[in-house]
Structure formats: structure tokens, C-alpha cells
Amino acid sequence: MTSRAGREASVAKVDLNLLRVLDALLTTHSVSTGARTLGITQAAASNALNRLREHFGDELLLRSGQKMVPTPLAEELAPLAVAAMEMAARVLARSAAAFDPARANAQLRIATSDHVDALVVEPLAKALAVEAPGVSLVVEAFTRSAADRASQGELGLVMIPRTRMAEELHAAHLFSEPYAVVVRKAHLATRALLSPRVFAELRHVVVSPGGGRAMTVIDAALDGHGLRRVVVRSVPVSSQALLLVAESDCVTTIPRSFAVRYAERLGLAVLRPPIEVPMLRIDCGWGAKFHDDPLHKWIRRRAMEIARIEIGKYGEPRS
């Protein structure tokens, strides 16, 4: 197989438009008919034929009476010219306008949280099964290295807060939603309106995807009241926090959609935080490698459409 450098060297001094002329002339065996096929003048076609003759060192087409007949070299080149034009047509036809998801065949890697996986990626996978059955999703937990891997093209998408993305990533808004406080239905916190102080004094399970015990928006909101919450456990995913809360008198504060999704089956109550907490904003991020890829552009658009629909299904938690 010829290397890229070899290909570039072999065509560097050649006008690739001559390939179109070669294909037309060797198919029609006529300068006038070939010119009409190409939409150029007969003089331009004759000039191009002379350039092709000079390039190949061969007459290519010889006049015989009223006809032009191909030389042996021309007969050898004819099928190659046809194949080259067909290949060029396939390459250039691959555009966003011509993209058909039903014909796509690919695997896309996504890094995100279990919360976004349940809200967006799961329904996205169901949509792909119908609209793009040849496309599969591989989902992994978001880690500190995921943003850099997305920048390098190792991951197709990250679905996380914009503040956790590498600066060089492209990004688009997926959805925003409030946080909710979750406790067992029999928890004392469900029997009266929570005050900020009582809330801070409960036993908290904190979700920290990157590990450790970093300051969160909940901590910052409590700090505004001069309070610090009692943290008894830090876990990497929201689902683990819900299971711990379901079997204890602990409390966790997680995105509302995830809390509502599993509250009934786990016997949990979903409450409003007794403090003002900023909305959680989740963005979709991707690297330059996939920025203009038709399949990736289509998947990003479908993910944003699905996110808007899914987030609308979750109403306000109780006071």
C-alpha cells in the first residue's frame, strides 16, 4: 500500500480535474460528447486531452474515420478511472446533509455519572436501537482523567458540569435541575419542616464522583448560614447513596430526577432543601477530533433533545 507521503508526491504536480476528463473521454470515446458530459467547451476538453497525452506519453484516443478508438493503454486505464471516480464520489458524498444514522456502524464511548446515565444515556441507547441500530454506546464512570481523554479523542463524549471539563473541549448545555434531599419515609425529618440547622445536624452521605471530600454547593449554601453539615460517609455514585439512606437514618442531597426515579421502590421521601442551592447544570463535552463528524453531531443533537424531554418528567419534591 502506498504511503500518504508517496500518494501526495505522485499527485503533487497533477491537476486532479484531469481525472474527470480522462473518465469522460475514455467512457464516451468522443471529445465533443465528453465535453457535454462534463459541462465544458469542446476546446477545453481537447486541451485537457492534450495534457493527458503529455502526462501518459500516449495518444490515448486515435481517430479512425468518424470515430475515436482507445489505445491499449487507454483500455487499461478506463476501468481504473471509473473506479477512482466512484471512490471519490463515495468519499465526497459523506456529508452532514447526506448522513443516514440507520446506515451508521460505530461505537461511542461516554463518561458520565450514574445520574446522567439513567436520565439521558439510557433513553438515548433506546433511541439508537431504533434509529441507528449499528451504533452502540459504552458508558464509563467519569474520573479526573476523563476530560483529558475526551480532549485527546479517546472518549467521544463527557456529560458532566462544565466546570469539570478541560478548557479546550467543545461544550453544549444538556439540562439543568435542582437538588433534592432524600431520607427514609419513616425518618423524623419527614414529620416537620426542615430548618437549615436541623438539616446540617443530620447524618449526611455525600456523593463525590472524584473521590475524597471536596466542598460542594450544599456545603457552600450551609456556610452562608454559618453552618457545617455532619458527613458520615462519602460515596462515588448517587445510587450507592440512595441504598445507604434506604437502610439507615442518614440523608443525602442529590439531583432531583435521580431521587424521584428511585424513591418509591426504595421507600424514600424526596424533600426540598431548606437552603437556597444553585441548580445543577450538566453539559455535553467533546474534543476537536469529533467536532465535525456527522455521526457524533447527530448523536449530540439527539442527546440534547432527549435530555429536554426527560428532565421535564420530574416535578417538584414536597416541602
154 and 295 share a domain?
yes
The CATH number covering residue 270 comes to 3.40.190.10
State pTM to two decimals: 0.68
d(CA 91, CA 33): 27
Give the sign of the dihedral formed by CA 86, CA 92, CA 93, CA 94.
Answer: positive
CB count within 10 Å of CB 273 equals 20
186 and 256 share a domain?
yes
Q: Is 5 a domain residue?
A: no
Identify the residue whose cell numbers are 451504533. Answer: 135
Identify the residue whose cell numbers are 463528524. Answer: 293
21 and 60 share a domain?
yes
Joined grid coordinates for residue 10: 505522485
pLDDT of residue 315: 65
Q: Is 231 a domain residue?
A: yes
pLDDT digits (tens, 9 = 90+) for 271-309: 999 999 999 999 999 999 999 899 999 999 999 999 999
- In the chain, the largest separation of any two C-alpha atoms, in whole Å, equals 105
Q: Is 209 a domain residue?
A: yes
Segments forming the whole domain that contains residue 225: 179-278
Q: For residue 68, what pLDDT band results from cuts at 50, 70 and 90?
A: confident
Above 80 in pLDDT, residue 121? Answer: yes
Residues of the chain by 3-state class (helix, strand, coil), percent to 5: 45, 20, 30
Looking at the chain, the whole-number percentage of residues with pLDDT higher than 90 is 55
151 and 168 share a domain?
yes
pLDDT of residue 14: 62
d(CA 146, CA 169): 11
pLDDT digits (tens, 9 = 90+) for 173-189: 999 999 999 999 989 88
pLDDT of residue 9: 47
Q: Mean pLDDT over all residues of the chain?
A: 88
State which of 39, 62, 92 marks the end of a domain: 92
d(CA 181, CA 194): 10
pLDDT of residue 211: 61
pLDDT of residue 93: 61
Least confident of 64-68, 91-95, 118-122: 91-95
Q: Is 98 a domain residue?
A: no
287 and 250 share a domain?
no
Q: How many domains does the chain have?
A: 3
Cβ pair 275, 222 in contact under 8 A: yes
